[in-house]
Structure 1
């Protein structure tokens, strides 16, 4: 960190939790699962996935417990690597903010706000120029962006402009409605990349979209 930039990554407690937590959880599960499975098998009730529970309960010898522990610890390490890849460091500067590998000039950012565990940055036409999952917690992001004079908001400043999408709505032009129809299919298929590409296509037509599960909400872009 310098006087002109602030790098927002994991806090020390979060770094320890994310680095060692999944592996430690895997080790704990290796010890607890066999005993829990044997206890569950003794209950006078039908169990879903009973064959799987029976296999877990049969693990008893030291070498079997060791193999299970090693597998679960490795799974935990993969989870840690996935988290490190998914979550990005945010660097706030006087002239630019960087979200992982994406830099946006300060002059082009007209709004920043949290959306669940994601961070959204809006450009001068209220488009989502950045959507990322930051490593820093929300309070630290808000404090730092405000300190550097960025337009931080606690919620979407255009939330009141959104309308639930329904196919064939008369308030939407056919081209935008067709994009939202294709995007609805992508959301149902969990095709995240396609959904992102269709969002960009919709923005070129002058509309923004917000998701709540598989339900889409749209609004016209607002130029500032």
Structure 2
């Protein structure tokens, strides 16, 4: 029977690891960190945050281990919550795709591909209208999108058009200004601001991608 939709979320093992792994790691760290801290203090070397090593190294009773374990488990639970928030669930149907809270019709999508761990969705003007880190693995994405008739690509179909950005190069001044501002933002690892400047550059008719700390640009390409 043909599926009418598919939910692309965590694989069962991935869900288990994301849900329980950080808390389990917290318990493991609670068991070994005091001994590691005492060993490091005994080396006689200058330690950054030495006071933290001293506090952890003093843990040696059951209730102290319980307190430390509780703290690290709670930290692990916060890490799990952050992963669920950061990684995007995707629902694919024949007429549209939902990326978290964002929905796009199939007719508006001209390409989907992975750029590292980031899923990139291009519209009919080759703008990167969606950039997200999916919960599903690459194999699930590559199998499901074609099944529902979407143009999945193994790589960026416009990769050959990108050129390295040079200040005061061949771009108009307003595009250069956006890329200059974005270069500063990238050094600060401000992802939200970098995304906003990417959208501003696309409004000027150009797309940008990052490789090894450098920016590469290309003109937008309208699909037929």
TM-score range, shorter chain: over 0.9
1:222 equivalent in structure 2: 221
Counterpart for residue 185 of structure 2: 186
The alignment partner of 1:168 has SS state of coil
Q: In structure 2, how many angstroms separate the alpha carbons of the residues matched to 1:207 and 1:94?
A: 30
> 1:99: Cα distance to partner?
0.7
> Structure 2 matches for 1:133-152, cutoff 5 A?
133-152=133-152
TM-score, structure 1 length as denominator? Answer: 0.93
For residues 104-142 of structure 1, the C-alpha deviation after alignment (integer angstroms, 9 at most, x for no partner) is 111111111011211111011111011111111110011
Secondary structure, aligned partner of 1:167: coil
The number of residue pairs the alignment matches comes to: 223
Q: Kindly report structure 1 stretches of 4+ aligned residues shifted beyond 6 Å.
A: none
Asked if 1:37 is matched to 2:37, the reply is: yes
Give me the whole-angstrom Cα distance separating, in 2, the residues matched to 1:43 and 1:197.
Answer: 48
Structure 1 match to 2:13:
13
Gaps of 5+ in 1: none
Q: Which residue of 2 aligns with 1:107?
A: 107
Partner SS state of residue 76, structure 2: helix
Q: Please list the CA deviations of residues 144-193 of structure 1 after superposition, one character each: whole Å capped at 9, or x if unmatched.
A: 01111211111111112111212111x11111101111111222233322
Residue 208 of structure 2 aligns with which residue?
209
Q: 2:56 aligns to what?
A: 56
Question: Partners in 2 of 1:109 and 1:53 — Cα distance?
Answer: 53
Offset of residue 213 of structure 1: 5.2
Structure 2 residues without counterparts, runs of 5 or longer = none
Question: What is the CA–CA distance in structure 2 between the aligned matches of 1:213 and 1:99, rounded to whole Å?
Answer: 27
Structure 2 partner of 1:177:
176
C-alpha separation in 2, matches of 1:45 and 1:162: 49
Cα deviation, 1:27-78, whole Å, max 9, x if unaligned, reads: 1100010111222333365544444323322211112111111110000000
Matches of 2:7 and 2:46, distance apart in 1? 53
> Tell me, what secondary structure is at the counterpart of 1:125?
coil
Report whether the alignment pairs 1:199 with 2:198: yes
Partner of 1:69 in structure 2?
Answer: 69
Q: Secondary structure at the match of 2:134?
A: coil
- Aligned partners of 1:193 and 1:12: how far apart in 2? 30
Greater displacement, 97-106 / 39-48: 39-48
Question: CA–CA distance in 2 between the matches of 1:164 and 1:223?
Answer: 21
Q: State TM-score, norm by structure 2.
A: 0.93
Over aligned residue pairs, what C-alpha RMSD do you find?
1.8
* 1:39 aligned counterpart, secondary structure: helix
